[in-house]
Structure 1
Amino acid sequence: MSNSATDHATIPQTVWAARGRHPGPGAEDVVRRTLERRRESGSIDDFAEPPAPDASPERVFEARWRAGGTVTVRARLTLVPRADRPEGQEWTLVAEAERPWDETWPSPATLFWPEDGPADGADGDWDHHPTVAGPRSGRVNPLPDDDRETRRRLKEAARESWCAHVVVHEAMTPGEQGRLPLARLLPPGLRHRVMEHRAAPQQFRAVNWALKDLGVEVPRGGAVLLPPDPAPGGYDAREHSVRTVFLDGSEPAELVAALRHFLAVPRPMPRGMREALADLRENWTLTTLQEELERQRELVTMYAGALEAMTRSRDLYREAAEQAHQALAALREAPSPAALPQQQRSGARTPAALQQLTRTFERLRFPAKGPRPAPSPDAPSPGAPAGGAGGPGIPDEPDIPEVPGAESADGTDSTGAAQRR
């Protein structure tokens, strides 16, 4: 048995849910005729048959009534053809009331399906277990004689079940009253939510061997409720065991108390129930004028909120766009690099490597000139003519050391001057 719930949503106490199988043909006709009779008798206020989705084999029926004369109940039944057989349909039924479900209210199943009786004939053959062959709700279901078959049936019945499965052991062979199903002694709201499995007196050991995997056992002459799969946290199987069940036609008070406690425990929704409940709430079509008006008001409120949110977003985008335009305009009005002074631009753009090269050449030029020698006593005054090697009136040219690559005053280097000489 799995202890982890795949769906953590619990079953609301306002919900009554069941599922089953109709083995014969024409299940939708049976439901339609039954709902028409219930509407004529006043058991329900109205019913509808919404159109199914395109290319869908499903058939959907909706009904509403007032439980106890004041509490509105909405219910939705869905018929789905069985894939493995040409005839027969599986059905799911979900009903939701305006307040927690009262066990004294009528069973929703008896409002969509005909009640058990000789007059119903084949129309009353609708309460089979949806997946396990043999068991039916509201009936006594004897366990098979084969031990392995008993084990398989109980395990499959408990897996993802929408109803409560109770195993009753007969301490001795009961009389005529004891052979009747216990479901007829249950309150109307509990009927069709319970499936009874009956073990004969000689099957006591075999049935407890079959229940071993589920972690429970049935007392001799008593009853036990199979734990749900998946089981809720903190589930105690001992609270759902009854020591003695008298099969004499009297009301099984202890069993009824255990069933109430079992159905009141917050349990995870089994597979398929969450989708069925969502269809009931979201795709409901059988509305009154007041409900339709209230629905339209809710839509108006929702659309008004959406429009207000869009307006706020538009204002925010507009403000952001204005700020972006202001920033762009300020950037365009800022002075560009072309408007700066020429000297500043050239100085700013002079590479550091070029400046270093210029300083290097300057250091090479100044040492080339050297200090002038002091005049000798024999030398004439600067203004007097004197002869020399350079000719009359022309002073001798001082010896200037030649520096390779150094530039002379007239723009030529010393190497070029020597070559011209």
Structure 2
Amino acid sequence: MTATPHTTWLGHGRHLGPEPEQDVRRNLIALKSAGVIDDYLDLAPDDSSATEVGGLPDPFESDDDTAAPAPTARRLFEARWRVDGEVTVRAQLTTYDSAGRKRADSAVSWVLAAEAERAWDPEWPSPATVFWPDSALTPWDHDVVPGPRLRGTHRLIADDDKDLRRLLKNCTRSSWNIHVVVHEAMTPDARGLEPLARHLPPSLRHRVVEHRAAPEQFEIVNWAIKDLDVRVPRGGAVVLPSSPPMPGYDAERFAVRSVFLDGSEPTELIEKITDFAALPRPLTADAEQAVEQLRRRWHLLTVEEELARTRELVAKYADALEAMTKSRDLYREAAELAQAALAERGESAPHPGALPSVPGPSPAPRPEGSTLSTTLTNAFGRFREASRKGGRK
């Protein structure tokens, strides 16, 4: 399986509110006004289905629609900004309808793909807060697996132990986020209940889900993650593996024996999560779709980029026109040779531009080595060979 490009930031989740696209628009408008981002676009799925050059569709674009938005896509947003003063970041956020959206409690799914001009730095701002407001009042940060939420702590409460096992297993299989299970050695105070995400580097704060197990859940939670071949130490934490497991993952390496839930920074756990995020992560099919869409269907061009793409399109048109002209000349030459061969035999010849008629009954076979047959075969053979060479240019 292909590894996730080291230049990218990928995230997905669910928005449980009534107007997700309006939340995105307001945030993008505010950030552009403040000069945080260079520019943004707000596109309908139909408008984003093809790349345009100078306002015109590119006719040379591949017919392969693997990077096109899915039929359930609602809206596509693009934004461009700079980090470290000169590194450009391009990002796309696509919102999707979920099954049963007519129900008031249904979520709108979203996928966010961002790519920088060099390897992604965890200290850069999170692309999630370019599109979504960084406020707990806006419910955009729910994981694709119902229940867990980013930026907070997810209490592992289940009516059935099997439900808990199913939940954690689904988190490793379906979610792109990093899932961490923390066991409380004793019931923490208000400071200990604060999410650990606030201590993470900015680009990781919206990629990590923190699951909390109560003191009495030690045996239950370890039973739930037994199939994942990991174990959370009593009063400690463990970073759950992805599915399929990433190269370099080891349960002991990503376990912390003790986490002090007293409001202080859990330095060792933060280091483990950061190291885990740096591992080469397998690129799932839906994540690959997001990266391909970002790279192949990007619309927010600078003036320089649009000029360069227009020049490229003009060059393609010139090559295509040259190939068409050459093919026309070769066809004319072949037709003229065919006319000459027919004239030699005293037969009437069709006009060079005439279309071939529907064949009737097969004529009597001519003797092998016929001058007409040989001449026609050679003439049109030269035409086909030259056309093939022209098409491979």
Q: TM-score range by the shorter chain?
A: 0.7 to 0.9
1:138/1:320 CA distance change after superposition, 3 Å: same
Shift of 1:231: 2.0
Q: 1:165 aligns with which of 158, 164, 179?
A: 179
1:176/1:298 CA distance change after superposition, 3 Å: same
How many residue pairs get aligned? The number is 321
Q: Tell me if 1:20 matches 2:13.
A: yes
Shift of 1:238: 2.6
Q: Aligned residue for 1:360?
A: none
1:149/1:311 CA distance change after superposition, 3 Å: same
Structure 1: segments with no counterpart, 5+ residues: 1-7, 334-421
Q: 1:72 aligns with which of 68, 74, 88?
A: 88
Higher relative contact order (CA 8 A, sep 6+): 2
Q: 1:243 aligns with which of 244, 253, 257?
A: 257
Q: 2:291 aligns with which of 248, 268, 277?
A: 277
Q: Aligned partners of 1:181, 1:332: CA distance in 2, in Å? A: 89
CA contact (8 A) 2:101 2:108 kept: no
Q: Aligned partners of 1:151, 1:321: CA distance in 2, in Å? A: 75
Residue type of the alignment partner of 1:140: T
Residue type of the alignment partner of 1:22: H
Q: 1:141 aligns with which of 142, 148, 154?
A: 154
Q: Aligned residue for 1:227?
A: 241
CA contact (8 A) 2:183 2:215 kept: yes
Q: Aligned partners of 1:214, 1:90: CA distance in 2, in Å? A: 27
Partner SS, residue 238 of structure 2 = strand
The equivalences for 1:204-223 within 5 A come to 204-223=218-237
Q: 2:44 aligns with which of 48, 51, 54?
A: 51
Q: 1:115 aligns with which of 131, 134, 148?
A: 134
TM-score by length of 1: 0.69
Shift of 1:220: 1.4
Residue type of the alignment partner of 2:291: L
Q: Tell me if 1:201 matches 2:215.
A: yes
Q: Aligned residue for 2:377?
A: none
CA contact (8 A) 1:160 1:230 kept: no
In the TM superposition, what whole-angstrom CA distance separates every residue of 1:222-247 from its partner, at most 9, and x where no partner exists? 11111111223554333222222222
Q: Tell me if 1:178 matches 2:171.
A: no
Q: Aligned residue for 2:307?
A: 293
Q: Aligned partners of 1:224, 1:60: CA distance in 2, in Å? A: 36
Structure 2: segments with no counterpart, 5+ residues: 48-70, 345-367, 372-393
Residue type of the alignment partner of 1:74: R
Q: Tell me if 1:10 matches 2:24.
A: no
Q: Tell me if 1:106 matches 2:120.
A: no
Q: Aligned residue for 1:42?
A: 35
In the TM superposition, what whole-angstrom CA distance separates every residue of 1:291-326 from its partner, at most 9, and x where no partner exists? 111222333455556667778889999999999999
TM-score by length of 2: 0.73
Q: Tell me if 1:151 matches 2:165.
A: yes
Q: Aligned partners of 1:41, 1:129: CA distance in 2, in Å? A: 29
Which protein has the bigger helix share? 1
Partner SS, residue 253 of structure 2 = helix
Q: 1:29 aligns with which of 22, 27, 30?
A: 22
Q: Aligned partners of 1:320, 1:241: CA distance in 2, in Å? A: 76
**Residues 18-27 or 85-94, more deviating:** 85-94
Q: 1:256 aligns with which of 270, 285, 288?
A: 270
Q: Tell me if 1:267 matches 2:260.
A: no
1:265/1:199 CA distance change after superposition, 3 Å: same
Residue type of the alignment partner of 1:147: D
CA contact (8 A) 1:62 1:74 kept: yes
Residue type of the alignment partner of 2:83: A
Shift of 1:84: 2.4
CA RMSD of aligned residues (A): 2.9
CA contact (8 A) 2:93 2:111 kept: yes
